[in-house]
Amino acid sequence: MRAFYHPDQAIHNPLQFMRYGRICEANDVPARTEELLKALARLGIEPEQPQDYGRGPAEKIHAVHYLDYLETAYGRWIDLPEHGPEVLPNTFPYWNGDPSRDMRPPCPTDQLLAQTGYYLGDLAVPIGEHTWQSVLRSSHTATAGADALLDGETLAYALCRPSGHHCRVDRASGFCYMNNSAIAAQRLLEKFGKVAVLDIDAHHGDGTQEIFYRRRDVLTVSVHVDPDHYNPFFTGRVHETGYGDGEGYNLNIPLAPHSGNDTFLDGVQRGIDAVKAYGAEALVLALGYDTHVEDPLSMVKVTTEAFSAAGRKLGDLNIPVLVVQEGGYQVSVIGACLEGFLRELQSGA
């Protein structure tokens, strides 16, 4: 198995995010990558450093005006006469949730605070001095993983950080600034006629869903905690099945709060069955560990062993698989989760 990671992904070091009305220390800390790299070393996998792809792959998914904002926001922020340590919004525009629309028009003003409220969807996506560089490199890691499959590999792992699956075409949220899984899926369409994204992070992959919601060339499946009780709250329900050409090509599999391994693995199996029924020729597996019972954001009771079992199930797909790293914030367990998952995935492939 080939793996990819760029050390610049660790220099994004957010200082704060809002939770339950309190400014808290960030969960997406650079130490996450250290533990995942240790897990790869235990498996004898040496990650390769991706080449510099620039903004090209990201622009296949994200609006140019949004990427322009991400790239320039911090430099403009520190020029303000009064500013905090990171770029954060204090106003949010209304979005009507129209599923027929790909994205909004550009922000109608170039005033920085207005753009910040327009492009940052919550208080979990602060932009610091090194955020853009880490985000861009994370997109390169996903692209390199996709290219490995295009070159004939059957398995690859993209150690993406920051994560991506909450990011829309033109809006960051939930620790996510570019949608790495979507960028990889789009890249895979250069060779494969049908691509699927199966997301098993605890949170609904709302950004990925919206990006592909009107399309049938990418099936999106998300196994996540029921959004009636869990962030992102406003999407991820079973009636959301796609729109227009994409009708029937989006599947949500909500898990009840406090569910355990059996419920989680049943959801994973349902997702695998949907990928098979679709006839996918390649799969992007969006992997998060925030379902783990010890995760600070968890509402379910999934254990480390369940990730090994999930890897074993996915190893039976017999199509090329790119694993893209998403969430998981309990640093003490994520390495073991990845190690077990990849070991079983490789043994079954």
Res 218: pLDDT: 98
Residues of the chain with pLDDT under 70: 91, 93-96, 349
Kindly state the helix (H) or strand (E) to which residue 197 belongs, with its residue range.
strand 195-199
List the beta bridge partners of residue 98.
none
Greatest C-alpha distance within the chain: 58
Q: What sign for the dihedral angle of Cα 26, 15, 326, 342? A: negative
For 345, the 3-state DSSP assignment is helix
Res 348: pLDDT: 78
How far apart, in whole angstroms, are the C-alpha atoms of residue 205 and residue 164?
A: 9
- DSSP assignment string, 20-43: TTEEE--SS-THHHHHHHHHHHHT
Amino acid identity of residue 295, one-letter, is D
Active site residue 166: yes
C-alpha distance from residue 303 to each of 133, 227, 259, 265 (Å): 34, 21, 11, 11
Q: DSSP character for 54?
A: T
> Please, which residues have CB within 8 angstroms of residue 47's CB and are 6 or more apart in sequence?
3, 4, 5, 37, 40, 157, 159
For 186, the 3-state DSSP assignment is helix
pTM of the model: 0.96
Instruction: Tell me the per-residue pLDDT of 185-236, one tens digit each, with 9 for 90 and over.
Output: 999 999 999 999 999 999 999 999 999 999 999 999 999 999 999 999 999 9
Res 94: pLDDT: 66
Q: What is the mean pLDDT of the chain?
A: 95
Assess contact for 290 and 329: CB atoms under 8 A: yes
Q: DSSP character for 245?
A: G
How far apart, in whole angstroms, are the C-alpha atoms of residue 96 and residue 325?
A: 30
Cα 61 from chain centroid?
A: 13
Res 304: pLDDT: 98
Of 6, 165, 166, 203, the catalytic one is: 166
Res 97: pLDDT: 72
How far apart, in whole angstroms, are the C-alpha atoms of residue 89 and residue 114?
A: 8
How far apart, in whole angstroms, are the C-alpha atoms of residue 77 and residue 318?
A: 48
Half-sphere exposure for 212 (CA within 13 Å, toward CB): 31
164's tokens = 């991506």
Res 349: pLDDT: 67
Assess contact for 138 and 130: CB atoms under 8 A: no
